[in-house]
Amino acid sequence: MSFLRIEALWAIPLIVVPLIIHWLHRRRHPTMQWPAMMFLYQATKMRRGPAKLRRWIVLAIRVASVALIVLALARPLSQGVFGMAAGRIADTGTTVVLIDRSTGMQRRDAFGRSRQQRGLETVAETLRTLGVQTPVVIDSVDTQPIELASLESFNDGTLLKSADAPASIETMLASALDYLQEHESTLSDVWIVSDHASSSWNLQSSRWESIARQADSLGDGLRIHRFSFPQSSDQVNASVRLADLRWSSENLNRETSPQTGATLLFSVVVMEDQNLNAVLATGSKERTIPVDITVGTTTRTFDVTLRGGVGTLDNVPVDVNRQDDLYGSVSIPTDSNPADDQWYFTLSPPLQPSIGIISTQPCDALIAMGEVLGRVAFDQAGGAGQGTLKTQDGSTERGDLPLDGIDCLWWQGPLPTGNAAEKLESFSSSGGNIVFFPPMQPDPKLQFQGTRWNEWVTLDPEETSYLGVKFIIESVCSVAGQAITECSTADGTNWLAQRQSDRGTTWFCGANVADHQSLFVRQGLGLFSVLAATVEQSDAASIRLHDYQAGHETAKQLRDLNASIKAVMSSDEETASRRGYHRGVYVVGEHEGKRHYIAINRSDVTTTRLSDEQIEAVLPGDYVNVISIGASTTRPTSGAARELWGGLWFALIVGLLAEGWLSLSSRPTARTSGDDRT
């Protein structure tokens, strides 16, 4: 048991006061021998036992009453979870509360209360009981200490709101320990309002070692209190995410002008928790969930069948107007965690991709294909940084890799090195697609992304095919390295390969496009099939470029844009500086009357539930207290410690009533006339 006023326990010796009074009272009535009372003494001897027992009970009640009064003044707590007297927190200690606002903490119980809300209510009630009025708060969005003016600030909308950015417990804990060291706190309590989500704890982080050293410097005065939220066995939670979004291949015909209608292909993944009670309740391991796909103001619903907790929609077609501002969401019905029931997206209309061409000598074949498959932004003969750069408007200028606004880059010549290679690496990682064609004299020492050209191989004209298109090839430059083979000759020579980067794709095509008389160029079918595949990849990449993950990095990018930010579809209304932490569709600036849309979503990393042992292994300090909050209860959230005022005073009143009743003198029994002696 712990006490808020442990100094009151110094009054415990007062329990001897009733004993002293009893002893003094006995001294006031000395015993004197009187022969006439001898017979009366013998008559009452048989009644002395019960009377003596009564006196001892009365004395014990008086002693207990004094002890109860002292304990009540000491303000005992119902749980001894804080070790020594908890009053140390209110008098000299510092209290820091870490708040996890991530997606997992928004899971609700049967009565609609989120884990975040229940945890904060428990902390606030406990601190109110302990007498703490100005705690320090660190939440997963700001990760900086904020001193609250009062406990009522826990009801502030910001602390109760959710965030779609993953939490970082190690970052918040390190910030808390820095604050305690800066203020030289010898007695401190750190509350961690979080669940067991692996994405929040990040056990592999190297910061846990430095956190342990910080905790050691604070000594034995540091105590950590964390929460445990048992998962309800009868609640099922499902989540949805957009796995892929692309234009239908029918939209890639660039020979005609854009039509009004277009088709989007959606691939959606729905996952749910698996537990025995839910399966028994449905009577089957399969269940169907409706998925709403909203584009602009139009919504279509598809049924997804979940088997083993997973269901998918693969390349579901949705017709849209390509002139519209294309943004929308994929959603499922609200369940126990509404924070993972929606996924937002935005994309550009299927306009012709912008293509840049760089070659060691003029390649009319590449220019012609570029005009068929897209829009040639520039063609530069003579290699990167050499020769004349011809722009779309017909003007000429000298330049070096003008890649802004380019979707695809077709490169014929030696593989890039130095500054050019760095720029192309950045272009590929940001979503751009590159197609390399070999020079007439390849250098095996040069490589890009771990791939290089070997020597030219002359073949007897042979028929080959790619993506169902048959064509003749007579000479190839073999590809070697880390790229994945896409097409090879009959003798196994790899002449077409690709390598994926973070967002873009790099292709290596070993066909001869510099020789206008080669069969590969004259027929054109093979060249068209290869370049059309790169254009289709660029369309998919342009969609992904508008998708961001909620978190610190996205928030920083939005701040650096220095543009007006307006929410179009959003899960929450926040200030512009915090919109990078919340899912939704946003307008981030306007150029020449055209709005720029981006979509922000939660992380799609699969999260597992950590065990208590895994968490205890990284938490610093010798004292870690776990507070378990049940999955379902109808009573209001109470603190982790409650005072025993009611019980103590009730026991005291009962004791005083019993003492008064026992102290009453017994009334003599009336004798009947039949008992008279004559």
**What would the pLDDT profile of 545-590 be if each residue is shown by its tens digit?**
678 889 888 888 888 776 678 888 876 655 555 778 889 888 887 7
- Looking at per-residue confidence, does 378 or 674 come out higher? 378
pLDDT of residue 139 exceeding 70, the answer is yes
Q: Please report the pLDDT score of residue 411 as a whole number.
A: 93
pLDDT of residue 289 exceeding 90, the answer is yes
Phi-psi region of 637 (alpha: psi -120 to 50; beta: other; left: phi over 0): beta
Query: What is the signed CA dihedral for 57, 62, 67, 73, rounded to 10 degrees?
Result: 150
Please give the average per-residue pLDDT across 466-475, as a whole number.
87
Three-class SS of residue 245?
Answer: strand
Q: Please report the pLDDT score of residue 381 as a whole number.
A: 77
Give kind and range of the element (H or E) at residue 435: strand 433-437
Strand extents, DSSP E, 296-374: 298-307, 310-321, 326-331, 342-347, 354-359
Compute the Cα dihedral for 297, 302, 308, 310 and give only its sign: negative
Q: Which of 198-202, 248-252, 634-638, 654-658 has the lowest mean pLDDT?
A: 634-638
Side-chain-side CA neighbours of 442 within 13 Å: the count stands at 27
Distance CA 363, CA 521 (A): 10
Longest dimension (CA), the chain: 156
Residue 665 per-residue DSSP state: P
State the DSSP string of 188-215: EEEEEE--SBHHHH-TT-THHHHHHHHH
Three-class SS of residue 602?
Answer: coil
Give kind and range of the element (H or E) at residue 475: strand 469-481
Determine how β-strand 375-381 pairs with β-strand 389-391: antiparallel
pLDDT of residue 456 exceeding 50, the answer is yes
Please give the average per-residue pLDDT across 112-116, as a whole number.
87
Give kind and range of the element (H or E) at residue 120: helix 115-130
pLDDT of residue 602 exceeding 80, the answer is yes
Average pLDDT score, the chain: 78
Contacts of 462 (CB under 8 A, 6+ apart): 472, 473, 474, 489, 490
Instruction: Choose among 75, 89, 104, 103: nearest CA to 190.
Output: 89
Distance CA 569, CA 37 (A): 102
CA 656 to chain centre: 57
CA 138 to chain centre: 16
Three-class SS of residue 619?
Answer: coil
Distance CA 305, CA 286 (A): 7
Three-class SS of residue 186?
Answer: coil
pLDDT of residue 45 exceeding 70, the answer is no
Highest mean pLDDT pick, 333-337, 389-393, 655-659? 333-337
Please give the average per-residue pLDDT across 174-181, as a whole number.
93
Please give the average per-residue pLDDT across 6-22, as a whole number.
69
Q: Please report the pLDDT score of residue 1 as a whole number.
A: 55
- 231: exposed, middle or buried (Cβ count in 10 Å: 0-12, 13-18, 19+): middle
Provide the pLDDT confidence category of residue 333 given band limits of 50, 70 and 90. Answer: very high
Q: Using an 8 Å Cβ cutoff, are 76 and 644 in contact? A: yes
Distance CA 203, CA 408 (A): 40
Distance CA 337, CA 239 (A): 8
- Looking at per-residue confidence, does 303 or 398 come out higher? 303
Structure-token match 């999260």, residue found: 607
Q: Please report the pLDDT score of residue 435 as a whole number.
A: 93
- 617: exposed, middle or buried (Cβ count in 10 Å: 0-12, 13-18, 19+): exposed
Compute the Cα dihedral for 600, 605, 609, 612 and give only its sign: negative
Neighbours of 672 (CB within 10 A): 7
Please give the average per-residue pLDDT across 56-60, as a whole number.
75
Residue 145 per-residue DSSP state: -
Phi-psi region of 202 (alpha: psi -120 to 50; beta: other; left: phi over 0): left
Here the tokens at position 232 are 């309800």
Distance CA 213, CA 204 (A): 17
- Looking at per-residue confidence, does 26 or 611 come out higher? 611
pLDDT of residue 300 exceeding 90, the answer is yes
498-539, pLDDT tens digit by residue? 998 767 889 999 998 888 888 888 888 888 888 888 887 776
Three-class SS of residue 611?
Answer: coil
Side-chain-side CA neighbours of 564 within 13 Å: the count stands at 6
Instruction: Please give the model's pTM, rounded to 2 decimal places.
Output: 0.66
- 295: exposed, middle or buried (Cβ count in 10 Å: 0-12, 13-18, 19+): buried
State the DSSP string of 170-185: HHHHHHHHHHHHHTT-
Distance CA 163, CA 583 (A): 8
Distance CA 486, CA 530 (A): 10
pLDDT of residue 386 exceeding 50, the answer is no
Provide the pLDDT confidence category of residue 169 given band limits of 50, 70 and 90. Answer: very high
Q: Using an 8 Å Cβ cutoff, are 360 and 439 in contact? A: yes
Three-class SS of residue 443?
Answer: coil
Distance CA 193, CA 100 (A): 6
Q: Which of 372-386, 576-590, 622-636 has the lowest mean pLDDT?
A: 622-636
Percentage of the chain surpassing pLDDT 70?
Answer: 72
Strand extents, DSSP E, 561-622: 565-570, 584-591, 594-601
Three-class SS of residue 316?
Answer: strand
389-404, pLDDT tens digit by residue? 343 433 333 346 778 7
Q: Which of 56-70, 84-98, 392-406 has the lowest mean pLDDT?
A: 392-406
